Amino acid sequence: MKSKVLVKLSILYSVAVCVSFNAASAQKGTTNTNLTTVVFDLDGTSQLLMRSDDYNSSLCGGSCAVYSASLNPNVQTYISSTGAWRLDLFNQSVRRLYVTPDIPYGTEPAGPPPGYYWENLETASLCFDANNNAVPFPNVVTSSSNCSLNLDFTANGTKYKLFMGPSLPSAACPASGCPGTGLLTVTCNAVTSGQCTNWTINPTAGLPKSTVANLYYYGHKGLVFIGQYYNTFLIKASNP
């Protein structure tokens, strides 16, 4: 049974959101839906900042890797009970993501070093309507350009969060507040029985900060804002 949450329909606001919603199927589920996720290294000929470990690149045509529990039992990639896409690597150390959290947008403090990460690594994406109510991935049967990407990982003993999305996490910010970031576009590639079963996830083009994320670290009292850094990626996920 696919996971779902109750979603309110509302008008579009300044960010164009194109979400189709099946009200009859919007009740919250209690189980996760396992997926197959492909993370790419290139967008055309440009190398992406967040990319795969190329562990089994032959399965997806090269310059990419496939993540699924069927290939690596401790890799978790699924639609959660909240309707979010997730890729979690913290229960193992074989599979990794390459993260580049140190290319600043403007003048920023030094970020953690780029490299292959797995420790405490959790990645999630969720879409929202114009009132910032969550829209589950299965209910995005066309596309939504108002989605988030949340990436937690540990580097040199410190846990970090790299975030893009319409609603910023609660954190210690400058007096002016934490600056806004880019958004994600989630595109549905296949629909089965009124629910999307195949998605493409990438930054929303055409925004002033299309590929800009906020970087935070986990302090003793919660998240602390560090600065803004570029992040590019291309992800595809499917059920199964």
Residue 148 pLDDT: 98
The mean pLDDT value of the chain amounts to 89
Residue 187 pLDDT: 98
The model's pTM:
0.86
Residue 240 pLDDT: 87
99 contacts 163 by C-beta, under 8 angstroms: no
25 pLDDT band, cuts 50/70/90, is: very low
Q: What percent of the chain has pLDDT over 90?
A: 85
The percent of the chain in helix, strand and coil, each rounded to the nearest 5, is 5, 40, 55
101 contacts 162 by C-beta, under 8 angstroms: yes
Average pLDDT value for residue range 101-130: 97
Instruction: Report residue 1 as tokens.
Output: 């049974």
Q: How far apart are CA 104 and CA 108, in angstroms?
A: 6
Residue 143 has pLDDT above 70, yes or no: yes
Q: How far apart are CA 64 and CA 54, in angstroms?
A: 5
Per-residue pLDDT tens digits for 183-217: 999 999 999 999 999 999 999 999 999 999 999 99
